[in-house]
Amino acid sequence: MIEDLINGILILNTQGQLIYANYQVMRLLRKLKQSKSATTLLPEDTSLPEEVSHICQYLIETRNLFPNQIWQLETEIITDSYVFLKIKARWLILESEANPFLLVTLEDKRQTSQKIIMEDAKKYGLTDREMEVWLLHQDDYTYKEIAAELDITPNTVKKHMKSIYVKRRAFLEKGERGRWGDAETPRRGDAQTRRRPDAEN
């Protein structure tokens, strides 16, 4: 089902009217507009942020100029509050409809990055506290900032980071051994040089 997709999805007609919006996209739009209203599925203000409106309008203009070409536009937005969204817009053509629709997807790049980091953390076998430290570290927090965020000392952060790197190195080395198998690389002294019979005298 379309609701099961991770990305936010918007479907609009060529007049810019909203036809469909999943829950994820409304959450991302509220975040983009820095709205605190999150009690209903659709906020009272369903107008699109200007960043989304601009990419939709540009897609409509390119279709008018180049009607025989298929376009997909994308842009990235980073706000002061560290909202990092990737927006893609393309045409959605349905056989049952005379006019095409605009299909817009929004991806929370920060959330996607955090999911990847958490998956890696599970592979490394990190503890819950180490995972918290690792997430903040990957989010460019300093050791001092991590300590303040988690209410621990900077020395404790250093100990966690040391443990994380040890586990990470062990995981990567195990992967390399699995890749190459148990065969050992021949050492330089193992190779024996054979002389031709006529060279022995």
Give me the CATH number covering residue 167: 1.10.10.10
Task: Give me the pLDDT at residue 41, please.
Answer: 34
Condensed to tens digits (0 to 9), the pLDDT of residues 171-198 reads 888 876 655 554 444 444 444 444 455 5
DSSP H helical segments within 33-77, as ranges?
50-65
Domain that holds residue 160: 125-180
Flag whether pLDDT at 3 surpasses 60.
no
34 and 73: one domain?
A: yes
70 and 129: one domain?
A: no
The mean pLDDT of 47-66, rounded to a whole number, is: 83
Flag whether pLDDT at 50 surpasses 60.
yes
Condensed to tens digits (0 to 9), the pLDDT of residues 110-166 reads 777 777 888 888 888 999 899 889 888 887 789 999 999 899 999 999 999 999 999
- The band of 46, judged by pLDDT with boundaries at 50, 70 and 90, is low
Q: Cβ neighbours of residue 26 under 8 Å, at least 6 residues apart?
A: 8, 41, 42, 43
8 Å CB contact between 78 and 84:
yes
149 and 93: one domain?
A: no
Flag whether pLDDT at 43 surpasses 50.
no
10 and 88: one domain?
A: yes
Q: How far from each other are the two terminal CA atoms of the chain, in whole angstroms?
A: 82
Task: Give me the pLDDT at residue 157, please.
Answer: 95
Most confident residue range from 7-16, 94-103, 148-157: 148-157
10 and 76: one domain?
A: yes
8 Å CB contact between 49 and 29:
yes
Q: Which two tokens stand for residue 103?
A: 């299909």
72 and 102: one domain?
A: yes
CATH no. for residue 45?
A: 3.30.450.20
Kindly state the DSSP code that residue 67 receives in the 8-state scheme.
Answer: T
6 and 104: one domain?
A: yes
16 and 49: one domain?
A: yes
- Work out the angle between the directed axes of helices 128-138 and 143-150 (0-180°, nearest 10): 130
Beta strands in the chain (DSSP E): 8-12, 18-21, 72-78, 84-92, 101-108
31 and 94: one domain?
A: yes
- Answer yes or no: is 102 within a domain: yes
Q: Which two tokens stand for residue 153?
A: 């000392």
Final residue in a domain of this structure, among 77, 108, 139: 108
Task: Give me the pLDDT at residue 192, please.
Answer: 45
Q: How far apart are CA 55 and CA 92, in angstroms?
A: 15
92 and 156: one domain?
A: no
Q: How far apart are CA 143 and CA 140, in angstroms?
A: 9
Flag whether pLDDT at 62 surpasses 80.
yes
- Answer yes or no: is 115 within a domain: no
Which amino acid, 29?
L
Give every strand in the sheet of 18-21, ordered side by side. Answer: 18-21, 8-12, 101-108, 84-92, 72-78
